[in-house]
Structure 1
């Protein structure tokens, strides 16, 4: 498989940094390059610099994402434990600002323990599909899911609308305009307990629609806040800058082992085929034979996520989206019967990866070295078909990954150079 590269054919970053390098050369002689790279490798390295992520893309389904009033409301909602059944769980419970906006646990925990790992929030606004299975297609819609999930917040949308009425009416008006008339609302939701479902069914349709609108706007406010969370530059980015500027002395930010690991990453390890671009992810879904937690009930991943996404009233094509149908291109062309989606999971960003063990969608591997050994061993998938080529197997898109102990140690060393700061809204 050829890497999906985000470069600009020697990109603006390449030109800018090379220009900086030449101007410095004119002023003083730089140390010769310690590490030499081919033109094609330099192009890939340039495409992976964090600056190439650029400003967050505007989500057409959320007209309020750039609204500072919405972002301030979203930050308050993100940290509000009242948005849970027991009054002790907030978005920040699993997405801690002090821990890369994730929880460091094998499985997410809210009211109960979930079945998958919490994904970090930095850079999430750049991906077209959210969660490990891609069951949401926007940051605002993603924010709504945990609120009514019985294992996470366990709340109901009518109660959330009451909380907005009672505690956030002024902030809501500043962001979205007047609150709709809701009257006295019972605890009600189409996804709640039997009593909540019955109360929702008994509610007049116009009231249900107004509650849904307030609920959707809560998600849009939280997304306005979350979209301002991003990754900062790492030691890897400084190495790329030094290399493109032809500054051999500054290349010393990488050890020889780091450099060897990067060469394996770009070459025989085939890592860059999925982990490319400035966030080091292709934003796609892959079955790589990761063992399920329960072999008798393997996680179907993207196959079930697609079904949920297409049926979601809060997707890009739904009545609460601010997008026009032609702006929902990703959703318009999805196939719900793709056999490759079975047990496939989203490629996570590798930014700050060393700081967020354990790994994979259910924390199956404790260390980076465990992950790399998995790819070198290329086990058969318990469910679906692994994309990894096995020894002696003819594969249309991949070659067998052959890594020795030194390769694994070098790759792990390189991955640790990707740690950098997390930029938070001010």
Structure 2
């Protein structure tokens, strides 16, 4: 009887062992099937570069030391209300959302921004703005809260004035404002309309105000911007097909590489190599956050836009910059601002490198909407024309330079690069 039991036990153990071995073999086989060989081969350096371009490498949104309220939910709620309030305009019809529309990639799809009047440049989207040290095409602002203030008083955009904005907050948002920023400062008796940059009458009324009243109005105005920035901080890019491809390439997942078509992969190779696109469009936001003159033809050749050269002057004079009295930052936290070269000739007609994320959804292109298609944009770089104002960084055909090579792309390669740019589109994400 004991021998029978022992024999049965031995047989059961052998069967169990065989079953376990079979399961392990099945798992190993499945893993091997999942790890199909890479469809597209890249060098170690290229793979590393692709890894740095994944959206997840951006990490958490940088904290803006100049805005102590940007991470507060109540500030974001107030900011959302202000962002959508058309009363923050001279004619009561223009809100921040008018040009930064949620259903249009938080921009407007126009060649020039349009509010009360028509501007001179394209509207930039708000996604990813928290990652950039300078805002607007010319970098005349150094924080999202300061950036939000500019259009409010611009004659072609909201066309409002500072005192009227403060009165509106006092009348309609006082409770929300005080829940975030504390008691409103003592404003004293304010004129109906006054602003340091408005009409002649508004400037005179502003100058006639007491210093304490001007400071109190500035404080409320600055806090409006800080609330709007808290709202915009929660708007970001989501992962694109390119991000999935880069992840698959880094992890050795050949099947995952199938998310991009062969043409898109050809375009990506050109983007990283002879197209030289990655020189400026790099990192997880696909921008170096710098300013470049690339010979883009001005919208008005008789009056070319000086770009960053003019923006630098405005930034350094701005009372709402990082070093200003309405900033929450310490001086040592404003390093970007303290080491700017205001007289750099290379900044003439230079414009901020925009992120290429979702670029296929944001025609027309360049700072004044000079090109209507991505193919035209790529062709511009392949042609490398001389700049009308300043000096283009692009190597001219036949020019020998140590820092850059001439970009040479065939018509088919231009199409390939444009096709790849379409793979950079992902969802727009709004945090709750």
2:147 equivalent in structure 1: 142
1:368 is matched with which residue: 370, 374, 395?
Answer: 374
What SS does the corresponding residue of 2:104 show, helix, strand or coil? coil
- Give CA deviations for 1:1-28 in whole Å, capped at 9, x if unaligned: xxxxxxxxxxxxxxxxxxxxxx999834
2:424 equivalent in structure 1: 418
Query: Conserved in 2, the CA contact under 8 Å of 1:159 and 1:188?
Result: yes
- Give CA deviations for 1:297-331 in whole Å, capped at 9, x if unaligned: 00000000000000000000001000111100000
Shift in Å at residue 185 of structure 1? 1.9
1:383 equivalent in structure 2: 389
1:74 is matched with which residue: 62, 76, 79?
Answer: 79
Counterparts of 1:66-105 in structure 2, within 5 Å, are 66-105=71-110
- Give CA deviations for 1:363-417 in whole Å, capped at 9, x if unaligned: 0001000001100110000000000001121223110000001110100110000
1:270 equivalent in structure 2: 276
What SS does the corresponding residue of 1:98 show, helix, strand or coil? helix
Which structure 2 segments of 5+ residues have no match? 1-26
1:197 is matched with which residue: 198, 203, 215?
Answer: 203
1:129 equivalent in structure 2: 134
2:285 is matched with which residue: 267, 279, 297?
Answer: 279
1:356 is matched with which residue: 362, 365, 376?
Answer: 362
What SS does the corresponding residue of 1:351 show, helix, strand or coil? coil
Shift in Å at residue 46 of structure 1? 0.5
- Give CA deviations for 1:262-317 in whole Å, capped at 9, x if unaligned: 00000000000000001100000000000001111000000000000000000000
With 246-255 and 139-148 compared, the bigger mean Cα shift is at 246-255
1:177 equivalent in structure 2: 182
Say yes or no: does 1:259 pair with 2:259.
no
Structure 1 length normalisation: TM-score? 0.93
CA distance in 2, matches of 1:345, 1:27: 48
Shift in Å at residue 251 of structure 1? 1.0
Query: Conserved in 1, the CA contact under 8 Å of 2:152 and 2:161?
Result: yes
Q: For the structure 1 residues 334 and 33, does the alpha-carbon distance in structure 2 shift closer, same or farther, using more than 3 Å as the test? A: same
Query: Conserved in 2, the CA contact under 8 Å of 1:225 and 1:425?
Result: no
CA distance in 1, matches of 2:211, 2:28: 67
1:60 is matched with which residue: 42, 65, 84?
Answer: 65
1:116 is matched with which residue: 92, 115, 121?
Answer: 121
What SS does the corresponding residue of 2:423 show, helix, strand or coil? helix
Query: Conserved in 2, the CA contact under 8 Å of 1:56 and 1:126?
Result: yes
CA distance in 2, matches of 1:293, 1:364: 7
CA distance in 2, matches of 1:76, 1:397: 48
With 211-220 and 244-253 compared, the bigger mean Cα shift is at 244-253
- Give CA deviations for 1:202-233 in whole Å, capped at 9, x if unaligned: 00000000000000000000001101110000
What SS does the corresponding residue of 2:301 show, helix, strand or coil? coil
1:301 equivalent in structure 2: 307
Counterparts of 1:305-320 in structure 2, within 5 Å, are 305-320=311-326
Q: Which has the larger helix fraction?
A: 2
What SS does the corresponding residue of 1:316 show, helix, strand or coil? coil
1:27 is matched with which residue: 9, 26, 31?
Answer: 31
2:156 equivalent in structure 1: 151
Q: Computing the radius of gyration over CA atoms, which structure comes out larger, 1 or 2?
A: 2
Which structure 1 segments of 5+ residues have no match? 1-22
1:323 is matched with which residue: 303, 322, 329?
Answer: 329
Say yes or no: does 1:166 pair with 2:171.
yes
Q: For the structure 1 residues 337 and 24, does the alpha-carbon distance in structure 2 shift closer, same or farther, using more than 3 Å as the test? A: farther
Q: For the structure 1 residues 424 and 24, does the alpha-carbon distance in structure 2 shift closer, same or farther, using more than 3 Å as the test? A: farther
2:248 is matched with which residue: 229, 242, 253?
Answer: 242
CA distance in 2, matches of 1:211, 1:251: 55
Structure 1 stretches of 4+ moved >4 Å: 23-26
Query: Conserved in 1, the CA contact under 8 Å of 2:142 and 2:321?
Result: yes
Query: Conserved in 1, the CA contact under 8 Å of 2:145 and 2:229?
Result: yes
CA distance in 2, matches of 1:210, 1:44: 49
1:107 is matched with which residue: 106, 112, 123?
Answer: 112
CA distance in 1, matches of 2:172, 2:366: 39
Structure 2 length normalisation: TM-score? 0.92
CA RMSD of aligned residues (A): 1.2
Q: How many residues align?
A: 404
Counterparts of 1:336-351 in structure 2, within 5 Å, are 336-351=342-357
